[in-house]
Structure 1
Amino acid sequence: MWFAVPVFTPVFRAMARCSRVLSCHGNGLVHWSSSAFRLQFEDSLPDPVQVSRADPRHTGTYRCGYANRSLEHLHTWIHLYITDPAHPSSVFVTPRSSSPILKEGQDYLFRCLLTDPSLTNLTLQSEDRGRGLPPGMKVTFDPRSGALIQHPQRSFSGRYTCSGWKDGRLFRSTPVDLLVVPRLRHPPSLSVSQAELVRLEGELFEVTCLSSNPSHFYNLTWTHPQIQVRGQRSPVCLTLSVSPVHLHHSGPYTCTAVNEAGVATATTQLTVQKICFFFYQQPKYEIRWKIIESTDGNNYTFVDPTQLPYNHKWEFPRDKLRLGAVLGSGAFGKVVEATAYGLETDNKVTRVAVKMLKPSAHSEEREALMSELKILSHLGYHDNIVNLLGACTQGGPMLMITEYCSHGDLLNFLRAHADDIMASMLNVDNLEDKVFYKNMAAQNGRLRSDSGISCCSEYQEMQPFLSSGRSHLDNLSVSDLMRFSHQVAQGLDFLSTRNCIHRDVAARNVLLTDHHVAKICDFGLARDICNDDSYIVQGNARLPVKWMAPESIFQCVYTLQSDVWSYGVLLWEIFSLGKSPYPNVSVDTNFYKMIKDGGHMRRPDFAPAEMYHLMTLCWSLEPTDRPTFKAIGQLISRLLPSNKEASSHHSEQVSHVPERSHELTSCDQ
């Protein structure tokens, strides 16, 4: 269909207070628009346009075009001058708001519309300069639109009027106060409240985009690759909140600000972590030690301990076992001191520790204790692990017989002998008599940890043999701390040769014999993790988070090298004399970010420089950069004052050559 340009009827010069109709017709539906002050806010006017009572503010250009936007190029227009005979001196109409603010260089149209086309010599005048214009001002005057000021400068600020002549008389418009402000020459300056954040799944993520110049308005918006984020116009800041966060919320969040000078962006990186949970049902016990069956690339296959064989040579007659005091107690099990008659020879009496179940134990706990028995029998003997001596699996409750360690666990031993070690460094003589070991939990109450969890229960720390007199051993010194470190490394090296991952290496899981020999253990049933402050609540789980490697926390990956990380924390415990790791640091999102970023604890008070360097090697973020336990043992052996104990096992020079560790791709339950 062919369309023609619309046609006006009638074309006229209107007078104020007249009633007029303006009509337009074409080959389709038409509508009107107008620049008149009375009608300028009307997007579309119907045809015909009827004004019942015209006045000078109806002066303006009236445009008629087709309603179909594809025909916008077909239009016509008419300019109407509406005069008011009652006020012959009012020949200009101007906007009611007359204080415009302009950006430097931005053209400005002063809409002083002429109501009488007979005026001549139309111009713009400055009332501040004796009606002269500022130097450099260029003005173009159109009687249908007004005075166009081109490329205004800051010096153009002032009061202006439109003027014209008729019959020898000067007519002037209402003045306008013009303010020209500097043009923005740079994009907005932006910053974000945090450049990188780590959040646990389910937590609140909140970040603020800040504009450094609040005197101007910027268009601020947040964007993310996978989610829609609503924008906002704000003079100062825009805060983005996402709650709860999920794994798919991870990624970059970009704040964008736009002004006439350009675009600025600032980005924050969100990492959402999922904490590895092991204890899905509470309370539940499982032995932490895992035996590797095979490796395939980066995958570990673990032995099901229930499928390990049990050799009945370990059986020991119940009637030759006399049970004594409780050494440690957990939710479903306990460890008691006992006397075994004829354990090695018919006439020998041996002091032992016996692990057993409580009546409240379930089938899960019975199976777990049997699994622990099988694992210990599978591992075999080593000086630096708590060795299996026998078991009673028939004809009554199951009993597991192990070596007895008179000094209890290393953690509380260090705390009890801290004064001895400090005195030895200061060469202080005549120390007061000390007992071998003090039960710090029993004497001073539960030690409150940085997790903020503390409670009292029937749970007991491992009780040592107490002596009312002075130890027959010399006072403890830093050399003893070195020997403890070396012995634990030897024990863990033995476990690694037996393809065993410990998963809970810590001073609380190391026991000491009469002669200060350190032995690695797994308390298992004898520790109530619900009442042990070292195990931090994470959802439905309790994990020793401050001892765990990053890959164990964030990916459920447990390897021989993750045990090395934990050993580094154990070294820090030893050389701080039993302090809690990461003192005064709560386990929260800031802690997880610190671990992820490679943050380390400071050198403990009693650590030689070489031992602290070893700790930092153990805390390498890349697991394959951590030393092996064999290399660790060799290094400490070289640092020991006397190598009598270690010379038969460690004679070669040590160099740190990391061995490749394999990763566990899924969480082993």
Structure 2
Amino acid sequence: MAVLSKYNLEEYQYGVHVRKGRQLYMKSEKNIYFGQWITSRNDEIIIVEMSENIARREAEFYLEVNHHDYIVRTFASVSNVLNLTIFIQEYAPQGDLAGYLMDNPNKFTLPSFAEIFLQIADAMSHIASKRIVHGDLGCRNVLVFRVDETQLKNNLVKLTDFGLSRWIDQEVPDEDESIIPIRYCAPEILRTNRHSDYSEKSDVYSLGVLIWEALSNSEIPYSSVSDDRQVKTMKLNNEQLKRPHVCNGELWSLINKCWQTNPKDRPDFERIKRELSKLDVSSNELDLSSAEIYE
């Protein structure tokens, strides 16, 4: 892919530097496999194979924000004659945050959650500084690398999946046909889906939903409603999600700031980072072992 040449990404070969293992994920134009180095490198890796159609929407974003501490790392590409863009990326041993929370519903304390949210907000601040809108924030697109309840800073998550990302300064062709994550996206996108509706503040709204989702043991937003069209109507009528049982007052206030109807009234990611850093998570009012999700 010619556009990737400016990033000076190293290029390797199958059977010489790396081999492809069993399949982890399959989509019509994107497949993910376990990978293994043949050389002396020992990083745990995955192989991401994208058609040129998918790569045009996704590959450049990975490289534009590569090397950030809380964004998945792309190590290299793999040469091929199949018109594919193939990336070698780091492997997250704990999977994605949505799956991890479903399998370990009582694992995180509020201080751990606060550290995870701070890391995600830091990644999003970096993405926003590049004039990029992620467009698909949710626990499914956060990878879990380390979990440590004894040393909070040793917890590590990283953001991934730029399939719905866009440059703020570049119009997206065929915009009306774009896939919209209805349960996570900002109401202004649901209302008109214009390119001008996508901004740092629309991603901020989605971060509020992601935080709600994580605190609700990875419950799908508006899970009691099966029809996405009804969810869209509810959101446009400002019917918001209920406060999770494990959410303290300060964090709930921050979530609601992210959900302000007017994007201008929402905080930016730098302010969210400051608020998360000052969050009082020492309260004994929280009981993460409770089976009750909502107040």
Deviations 1:435-459 (A, max 9, x none): xxxxxxxxxxxxxxxxxxxxxxxxx
Residue among 11, 22, 25 paired with 1:325? 22
Q: Structure 1 unaligned runs (5+)?
A: 1-304, 358-364, 422-475, 526-538, 643-669
Residue among 153, 158, 171 paired with 1:519? 158
Deviations 1:64-100 (A, max 9, x none): xxxxxxxxxxxxxxxxxxxxxxxxxxxxxxxxxxxxx
Q: Are the counterparts in 1 of residues 110 and 281 from structure 2 also a CA contact under 8 Å?
A: no
Aligned counterparts of 1:395 and 1:588: Cα–Cα separation in 2:
41
Q: Structure 2 unaligned runs (5+)?
A: 148-154, 165-175, 283-295
> Please, what TM-score do these two structures have when normalized by structure 1?
0.36
Residue among 192, 197, 214 paired with 1:555? 192
Aligned to 2:136: 504
Aligned counterparts of 1:585 and 1:309: Cα–Cα separation in 2:
46
Aligned counterparts of 1:380 and 1:540: Cα–Cα separation in 2:
28
> Please, what TM-score do these two structures have when normalized by structure 2?
0.79
Q: 1:105-184, aligned counterparts within 5 Å? A: none
Aligned to 1:391: 77
User: Offset of 1:547 from its aligned partner?
Assistant: 0.6
Establish whether residue 314 from structure 1 lines up as the match of residue 10 from structure 2.
Answer: yes
Deviations 1:191-238 (A, max 9, x none): xxxxxxxxxxxxxxxxxxxxxxxxxxxxxxxxxxxxxxxxxxxxxxxx
User: Offset of 1:313 from its aligned partner?
Assistant: 4.0
Aligned counterparts of 2:54 and 2:229: Cα–Cα separation in 1:
34
- Secondary structure of the structure 2 residue equivalent to 1:511: strand
Q: Kindly, what percent of the aligned residue pairs are identical?
A: 25
User: Offset of 1:309 from its aligned partner?
Assistant: 4.5
Deviations 1:22-70 (A, max 9, x none): xxxxxxxxxxxxxxxxxxxxxxxxxxxxxxxxxxxxxxxxxxxxxxxxx
Amino acid at match of 1:314: E
Amino acid at match of 2:28: A
Amino acid at match of 1:340: W
Aligned to 1:635: 275
Aligned counterparts of 1:588 and 1:496: Cα–Cα separation in 2:
28
Establish whether residue 382 from structure 1 lines up as the match of residue 68 from structure 2.
Answer: yes
User: Offset of 1:585 from its aligned partner?
Assistant: 2.7
Residue among 450, 458, 477 paired with 2:109? 477
User: Cα–Cα, structure 1 residues 381 and 589, in superposed 2: closer, same or farther, change >3 Å?
Assistant: closer
Aligned counterparts of 2:223 and 2:85: Cα–Cα separation in 1:
40
Aligned counterparts of 2:268 and 2:236: Cα–Cα separation in 1:
22
Which structure: greater helix fraction?
2
Q: Are the counterparts in 2 of residues 341 and 349 from structure 1 also a CA contact under 8 Å?
A: no
Aligned to 1:494: 126
User: Cα–Cα, structure 1 residues 389 and 593, in superposed 2: closer, same or farther, change >3 Å?
Assistant: same
- Secondary structure of the structure 1 residue equivalent to 2:247: coil
User: Offset of 1:407 from its aligned partner?
Assistant: 0.9
Aligned to 2:254: 614
Moved over 6 A (4+): none
Amino acid at match of 2:87: M
Q: Are the counterparts in 2 of residues 308 and 375 from structure 1 also a CA contact under 8 Å?
A: no
Q: Are the counterparts in 2 of residues 324 and 336 from structure 1 also a CA contact under 8 Å?
A: yes
Q: 1:526-565, aligned counterparts within 5 Å? A: 542-556=179-193, 557-565=197-205
Larger Rg: 1
Q: Are the counterparts in 1 of residues 54 and 163 from structure 2 also a CA contact under 8 Å?
A: no
Q: Are the counterparts in 2 of residues 320 and 340 from structure 1 also a CA contact under 8 Å?
A: yes
Aligned to 2:242: 602
Aligned length: 259
Which structure: greater strand fraction?
1
- Secondary structure of the structure 2 residue equivalent to 1:546: coil
Deviations 1:117-170 (A, max 9, x none): xxxxxxxxxxxxxxxxxxxxxxxxxxxxxxxxxxxxxxxxxxxxxxxxxxxxxx
